[in-house]
Chains A and B, each alone.
Chain A
């Protein structure tokens, strides 16, 4: 330590000593204090989710002090005089009380709701960051899976929270939820009757959702977030491919004091932004919707954004239903409910293992990929986003129809095709763009950076002058690692047995996937790439080339 380090006051060091006598903590806590956190804006996304959750815990606890989770019917006489004399549940009446009779109640309710939305936005953005940089690769697969579970739990938590106030919109949402449950084969009606305590709406659902919302799911989320952070601490953070960053180190600023100070600032910012939003942007004004009654119309109601996918999936479906040995299989409910989310969540969960299988890559990775350097992954990610986006937009098809003056049915028909075509197109376009960017990188590595000076050579040719990349630039541009190509189909190993990639349909599929993963643009210094001459020749004869998976010299 430097000489001008602060002298620790006696009392504090006394307490520290007392604790260390009992817990042997000095060494461990010292390691924690020095834990290195690499700095990059995108590493803050997970932190937004964390702080939003903390804010949800704080504001939710406040709400729970006043909210009455009961569907007991009462006649309202209170501050919101427009509803005086109206029948409503105690849950709805207590939400009105929180909004109009408790000082700060409306603010806290709105912060809670905005924080729920921000929580989900942050989780999504954080997941995308992890995906596109390949940070889910070995050894971080478990944290990736935990993240997916957290996302699912967050959706459920939000759905139940949104349904608690028992207003017209939340009841309409619950009714849809109940209809979907009923559609599940074999056990559907039982699930619905058990959850609702009988026929919809019943009187059991609000107290049940309440305990799930304030105890069960927050408890699970808290436990999983703790595990997530513990694992992150233990495995150390990934870092971006910068000069000086390797697979064997982690470079950044220590937890104490830097990360503490920044974390504190970040918490205040997020909390402050949510408070400002909740002050000026009204959210879920339940008093305008009125209490839930089963036959009232809820036109043009939009669910919270993270439910938009399900909403769109329900809207896009054609009317499919099959009768099967005297049983009804309600595909126009089941498919929207299970397939899009199932595809996205199962696909995301399996992806790290699929990628490792297709690339044969068993190594640990601590330096992130640049998205361009993993074209298949980036393409799939963009395809998934566009798939989500189409369904999400279809969830607001009536809004679009209204704003754009296009018939509603036309929009739905467009979406029915777009949901298949747009992701496929997005995949190929993204992959091309990635390869294009790789080509640029390859040129930077061979030519250097053009500095805008054009010179004429003695024999008349014009060339642009270039400078070599600085070490910092070089580290970024040269960070690409192409997965090793697996031996192609039909190849025999030294014992005359076909290589794994050649064996059976699985081997064939692996070979195909492997070739996609290994397609890459490299500065061609080695091997059999198809040459691709680009105008002005380079002194040392290097040129960019596309390598296919069959170029055996990429073996690791």
Chain B
């Protein structure tokens, strides 16, 4: 290393608080590695240790070789899929263990061998490269500026505003084109987020069983079940908004819930049938399906971020990030005595959105 470098680092006299000294003279030459005359040893210092290391590395590489063969054998020998007669999960796991452990061993052995190689079989050489100023030399900057300015003058762009401005105008619509082309990615939301497929008279059927329900089917107070609008069991887009939970209360437990109908607060006790109340299953936070119902406290819990709703009180929020009660679905019974909706929800279900109001 050069003497000035030594001085800079070693001197306890360096004034603490001085920012690192400004770069010294500019050096236009690109970094050239040390010249060919420099003697570089190619053998490690300790040849005895190198001998041992060589054998160790060779053992590692042999292990890698054997493990690699095992990998091939396991691939060919271990069937997966339905045709092997046995349990295909077991077969897949067996194949996974065999392939993974052989491949993993091969790679780790290769890595270990390579590390032994570079650590103990190469001489430990450090070299020093000089840093050069990143900033270009002043004459280079000036030259660049001059050439750039000349080029710009040749284009006439500064002298002919008419040309410049019309050209800019020409590009404006084209710049919008890529955005425009994205327009058909999807329909406009319009009012679709305000409605679900529930209508007057839509029967509530059980999720999974598609069975319509009579009030008498929910005998035990405190039970909660998930229902969907009849006929939509295979329509995920509809279900993602229209899922509903039914909760049966013991007489007197259900406090007259209040709910918004459009903008006005109305009593919605007459939306219940026989102490059964229907709420949207879609959390008003960001839309997970609410799930856990605690009978004793009447709390509905959303498993995603733990918003908690009070089922006995219009599903008002009592904890967590959801800002609004779960919307209530007006319930009634049809001529055959099955539970049906008496209308769609009177407010949007699910997460809030800007146009919701």
Residues of A within 8 A of B (CB): 1-2, 4-5, 30-31, 33-36, 73, 78-81, 87, 99-104, 106-107, 110, 139, 172, 175-176, 178-180, 182-190, 192-202, 204, 235-236, 243-254, 257-258, 261-262, 264-269, 271-273, 275-276, 278-280, 287, 292-301, 311, 314-321, 323, 326-333, 336, 361, 363-367, 397-398, 408-409, 412, 445, 471, 474-475, 478, 480-484, 520, 522-523, 526, 547, 553-556
Q: Which residues on A sit within 8 Å (CB–CB) of B103?
A: 107, 275
Task: Mark the stretch among B25-33, B158-166, B254-262, B336-344 that contacts chain A.
Answer: B25-33
Answer whether A179 and B129 are a contact pair too, CB < 8 Å, given A100-B92, A272-B108, A295-B207. Answer: no
Q: Which residues on A sit within 8 Å (CB–CB) of B332?
A: none
B4-36 near A? 1/0 per residue, CB < 8 Å: 011011101011111111111000001111101
Q: Which residues on B sit within 8 Å (CB–CB) of A4?
A: 42-43
Q: Are A194 and B182 in contact (CB under 8 A)?
A: yes
- Whose C-beta in chain A lies nearest to the C-beta of B4? A248
Q: Which residues on B sit within 8 Å (CB–CB) of A185?
A: 354
Q: Which of A33, A175, A246, A319 contacts B286 (CB 8 A)?
A: A175
A99 to B304 CA separation, bound complex (whole angstroms): 28
Q: Which residues on B sit within 8 Å (CB–CB) of A194?
A: 182, 185-186
Q: How far is the CB of A98 from chain B (nearest CB, A)?
A: 10
Q: Which residues on B sit within 8 Å (CB–CB) of A192?
A: 189
B126 proximal to A (CB < 8 A): yes
Q: Which residues on B sit within 8 Å (CB–CB) of A367?
A: 20
Answer whether A319 and B352 are a contact pair too, CB < 8 Å, given A101-B82, A236-B129, A248-B131. Answer: no
Residues of B within 8 A of A (CB): 1, 5-6, 8-10, 12, 14-24, 30-34, 36, 39-43, 75, 78, 80-82, 88-89, 91-93, 95-97, 99-101, 103-112, 114-115, 117-118, 122, 125-131, 134, 182, 185-189, 192-193, 207, 226, 228, 234, 236-237, 239-241, 243, 281, 285-289, 291-292, 303-307, 317, 319-324, 350-357
Q: Are B352 and A183 in contact (CB under 8 A)?
A: yes
Q: Are B80 and A480 in contact (CB under 8 A)?
A: no
- Whose C-beta in chain B lies nearest to the C-beta of A277? B104
* Consensus secondary structure, chain A interface: mixed
Q: Which residues on A sit within 8 Å (CB–CB) of B354?
A: 184-189, 327-329
Q: Are A247 and B104 in contact (CB under 8 A)?
A: no
Q: Are B188 and A190 in contact (CB under 8 A)?
A: yes
A100 to B91 CA separation, bound complex (whole angstroms): 8
Interface centre among B16, B112, B114 (most CB of A within 10 A): B16
Q: Which residues on A sit within 8 Å (CB–CB) of B129?
A: 34-36, 236, 249-251
Q: Are B88 and A106 in contact (CB under 8 A)?
A: no
Answer whether A363 and B19 are a contact pair too, CB < 8 Å, given A268-B111, A474-B10. Answer: yes
A554 to B36 CA separation, bound complex (whole angstroms): 45
Q: How far is the CB of A176 from chain B (nearest CB, A)?
A: 5
Q: Which of B89, B122, B189 contacts A100 (CB 8 A)?
A: B89
Q: Are A364 and B15 in contact (CB under 8 A)?
A: no
- Whose C-beta in chain B lies nearest to the C-beta of A523? B16
- Can you sample 27 A-B contacts with CB below 8 Å? A4-B42, A99-B92, A101-B88, A103-B78, A104-B75, A104-B99, A106-B93, A185-B354, A188-B353, A193-B187, A193-B189, A194-B182, A198-B186, A199-B237, A246-B5, A250-B128, A266-B111, A268-B111, A272-B105, A279-B101, A298-B303, A315-B321, A317-B321, A398-B303, A409-B306, A471-B10, A520-B17
A-B contact count (CB 8 A): 376
Q: Which residues on B sit within 8 Å (CB–CB) of A278?
A: 100
Q: Which of B17, B93, B107, B112 contacts A275 (CB 8 A)?
A: B107
Q: Which residues on A sit within 8 Å (CB–CB) of B353?
A: 182-183, 188-189, 328, 330
Q: How far is the CB of B76 from chain A (nearest CB, A)?
A: 9
The 5 A-B pairs of least Cβ separation, nearest first, read A279-B100, A179-B286, A272-B107, A554-B17, A268-B111
Q: Which residues on B sit within 8 Å (CB–CB) of A107?
A: 96, 99-100, 103
Answer whether A328 and B20 are a contact pair too, CB < 8 Å, given A30-B33, A175-B240, A262-B118. Answer: no
Answer whether A319 and B107 are a contact pair too, CB < 8 Å, given A101-B80, A193-B188. Answer: no
A480 to B14 CA separation, bound complex (whole angstroms): 10
Q: Which residues on B sit within 8 Å (CB–CB) of A365?
A: 20
- Whose C-beta in chain A lies nearest to the C-beta of B348? A328
Q: Which residues on A sit within 8 Å (CB–CB) of B321?
A: 314-319, 332-333, 336
Q: Which residues on A sit within 8 Å (CB–CB) of B115?
A: 262, 265, 269
Answer whether A481 and B187 are a contact pair too, CB < 8 Å, given A100-B80, A279-B104, A314-B286. Answer: no
- Whose C-beta in chain B lies nearest to the C-beta of A197? B186
- Whose C-beta in chain B lies nearest to the C-beta of A312? B305
Q: How far is the CB of B4 from chain A (nearest CB, A)?
A: 8
A286 to B115 CA separation, bound complex (whole angstroms): 37
Q: Which residues on A sit within 8 Å (CB–CB) of B187?
A: 193, 198
- Whose C-beta in chain B lies nearest to the C-beta of A333? B286
Answer whether A180 and B43 are a contact pair too, CB < 8 Å, given A78-B82, A252-B126, A315-B305. Answer: no
Q: Are A526 and B291 in contact (CB under 8 A)?
A: no
A185 to B352 CA separation, bound complex (whole angstroms): 10
Q: How far is the CB of B279 from chain A (nearest CB, A)?
A: 13
Q: Are B36 and A279 in contact (CB under 8 A)?
A: no
Q: Are B5 and A268 in contact (CB under 8 A)?
A: no
A252 to B124 CA separation, bound complex (whole angstroms): 10
